[in-house]
Amino acid sequence: MNRRVMMALFLSMSIVGAGSTGAQTFGTSDAVEPLGSGTVNWTTGEVYATGIGAPPARPVNAAQARAMAERAAQVVALRNLLETVKGVRVDSETVVENFMTKSDVIRTKVDGIVKGARIVKKQVMSDGSVEVLVAMPMKGAFLNTMLPETFGGTSMSPVPVRTAPLLQKPADTRPSPPLPAPEKKAEPMKPMPPQPAQPEKKAEPGKPEPPQPPVAPPQSQPSVAFQGGVATGLVIDGRGLGLRPALLPKVLDPRGQEIYVGQVVTRTNAVEAGVAGYAKDVNAAANNFRVTDNPAVIKGVQAAGAARTDVVLGQADAQMLRDLSRRGDFLQNCRVIIVY
């Protein structure tokens, strides 16, 4: 069969898109989020999508029919994977699609990374159609593309350079006589006129309220569960806060000051390990290899940011985390898991 006929058969194939849960299975404690036409496993840090391709309507031999069905299924799977990746949250303000829309360079890089996704599984159906499952890691090249240029402290302000003062004639160092202070006469207190009551300000219709900094409830005692010694990792219990996972979650104190992410982690460590892992169970997170054998478990008190991806700690816990981080390098090495 010549090439032209083969291409005609391929274009005439019936290509069917598949759902995102038909072929892959996840661990019971994995933090899995269905997103668009695929699935994001925030615990393993991978995006999955499936596609189904049907054999051609015209009769061909079995080997050719299966190869064409596999190719069609892979095309659909990659298309679904790209749509899923576009919806991945980068931080509390943006998703991947926002960056792709603003920058042709980022869009080209993401397209290339998605096309290089690995095939996890192929399954032949009874009717001859083929289902293909593809996966793409969010660490590595993809995360490096999404990181801001200033991530990791690369935009630190320069150190001021001291210059030698110009040579001048020595100034007279004798103190000047003090000037006499003018006499002030005490004036009788005047009663203040009554101030009119200020009307209560109401939000204008259609005008959004300005964002308010996170306000955490007061906390007198830390809620850290820790065996003592040097902490090897951090587990943040964010259950019940309405948290949503993202590539670059921040950990904040009650005043909204950043304790963890771009000001602490180097770009290299973030790209290699990912900023944070996610889990659904605190015990599973505390025993995860990411935080090794002696993690500190801290309870979050509030979700912050427009997309609720950042975690706010109580004042005592925030101070405890700062103290623990000074005695260890677990934050710099991204040994952080968030339970949501």
Structure confidence by residue, pLDDT tens digits, 204-254: 555 555 555 555 555 556 667 787 889 999 999 999 999 999 999 999 999
| Two structure tokens written together for 232 | 């090897």
| Two structure tokens written together for 297 | 């478990």
**CA 247 to CA 40: how far, in whole Å?**
11
Question: Looking at residues 95-103, what average pLDDT do you find?
Answer: 97
Question: Looking at residues 17-30, what average pLDDT do you find?
Answer: 60
Any idea which of 11-25, 152-166, 189-203 has the lowest mean pLDDT? Answer: 152-166
| Two structure tokens written together for 103 | 């920058």
Question: Looking at residues 277-285, what average pLDDT do you find?
Answer: 94
pLDDT score for 13: 39
Largest Cα separation within the chain, whole Å, is 112
pLDDT score for 27: 79
Q: Give the H/E segment covering residue 12.
A: none
Instruction: Tell me which of 220 and 274 has the higher pLDDT.
Output: 274
**CA 47 to CA 274: how far, in whole Å?**
14
pLDDT score for 153: 64
**CA 168 to CA 163: how far, in whole Å?**
15
**CA 132 to CA 48: how far, in whole Å?**
11
Q: What is the mean pLDDT of the chain?
A: 81
> Nearest-5° angle of CA 2, CA 7, CA 11?
155
Number of CB atoms found within 10 A of residue 42's CB:
25
**CA 225 to CA 235: how far, in whole Å?**
10
Instruction: Tell me which of 105 and 226 has the higher pLDDT.
Output: 105
Q: What percent of the chain has pLDDT over 90?
A: 63
Instruction: Tell me which of 183 and 127 has the higher pLDDT.
Output: 127
Structure confidence by residue, pLDDT tens digits, 46-79: 999 999 999 888 767 888 888 999 999 999 999 9
Instruction: Please state whether beta strands 295-299 and 38-41 pair in parallel, antiparallel, or not at all (unpaired).
Output: unpaired
Any idea which of 14-23, 261-270, 299-308 has the lowest mean pLDDT? Answer: 14-23
| Two structure tokens written together for 261 | 């992410």
SS3 94: coil
DSSP 3-state helix, strand, coil percentages of the chain (rounded to 5)? 25, 20, 55
Contact 78, 51 (CB under 8 A): yes
Question: Looking at residues 309-334, what average pLDDT do you find?
Answer: 96
Question: Looking at residues 296-310, what average pLDDT do you find?
Answer: 97
